[in-house]
Structure 1
Amino acid sequence: MDNFNIGRTIDLKGYLPEVLKDVREMQAIMDTETPEIQAIWQACEDCMNDQFIIEATENGVARREKMLGIAPSADDTLDSRRLRLLSRYNENTPYTRKTLAPMLEALCGPGG
């Protein structure tokens, strides 16, 4: 499930106008600022991913577990914790046979 976090490589030097691309001071500034911008971009991406259980980061899963009063085991994987959250959110839903099969496929995968 962790394949949702694609990430993005940011190179601020590419945004410099041609007249400034060869200036050492500007290159040094861009080299210094690029990791900061990359960290901000990653934090924004993580925040967006945390809105969805399937894509949630460790932080997003921990936040939802705290809200629901779930204490994860030491040997739980991030995927198993996500599945537990999905199950908890769906445990109070009234099911019919017609809706149960698609829900099980969504939770466990086809044939799971």
Structure 2
Amino acid sequence: MRRILSLLACFVIVAAAGENITPQEHNRFHNSNHRPTIRLQKERTMQELVRIDRSQARKIAREKCPDAGIEKIELRHRNRLIYWQVTTPACRLKIDAVSGSIIEKENRK
């Protein structure tokens, strides 16, 4: 029971840390199928909504994981939260693309 409560508290903290987009903004890039042109349109729509660009996300990742080079950086979304997922050899970060705050940090070593 105590473990469940602590996991629930972590989820609430993570959900509160990120800045959400509106449901209308979220639906703008979900009305698609898997055709390449539709996927590009979805990516452009997500890019319009972010305030933290790829280079700023890279800079934040270097500050949090200074000894590691960046392997991969992707713009993703989950529910109404848009974030940059940055993967380095040492850790995996999720950076809120609207506010620039760290949503999650997972050590890989």
TM-score (norm 1): 0.31
Higher relative contact order (CA 8 A, sep 6+): 2
Greater C-alpha radius of gyration: 1
